[in-house]
Amino acid sequence: MNSDWIGVATLVVVHLGFAALLGAFARRAADLPGRSAAFLAALAYFGSSLSLPLALWPKAGLSLASAGLFAYFGRQHAPANWQARLAWLYAGFAMLLILGWSAAQGWFSPLASLGAAAGWAGVLAWRRGLSATG
């Protein structure tokens, strides 16, 4: 079914986005409670990777990509305008994937409710991301 591959693609994109976001949170954690919370969140996140509906090799590749994104955003000090642009473009892409998934369901209700909202949010996020300056 078409919605299966769209659903898996959406899950992968959201999963990778969480890895980058957790890395950014870990970088900003300054005190022991903050670092402990970031560590526990990362542990729970990587533990949740085990339950993804993928075969062993794609799951291993996704785990490596997630670890790479986590490390990159945990150490990288990118300019603020680049971070804002990337965040908006990522959000837009994820929303447009959700629109695609809801359209592939084959019935009107998901498309009219979730799909319309996700599509509109995706367009607005891409518009903002393409014009982001900070």
- DSSP output for 89-127: HHHHHHHHHHHHHHHTTSSHHHIIIIIHHHHHHHHHHHH
- Mean per-residue pLDDT for 59-85? 81
Q: Which of 132, 89, 97, 129 is nearest to 115 (CA)?
A: 97
pTM for the full predicted model: 0.69
pLDDT digits (tens, 9 = 90+) for 22-63: 888 888 787 888 888 888 888 888 877 777 888 889 888 998
Tell me the C-alpha distance between 129 and 84, whole Å: 7
The residue-averaged pLDDT of 78-84 equals 69
pLDDT given for residue 65 in this prediction: 92
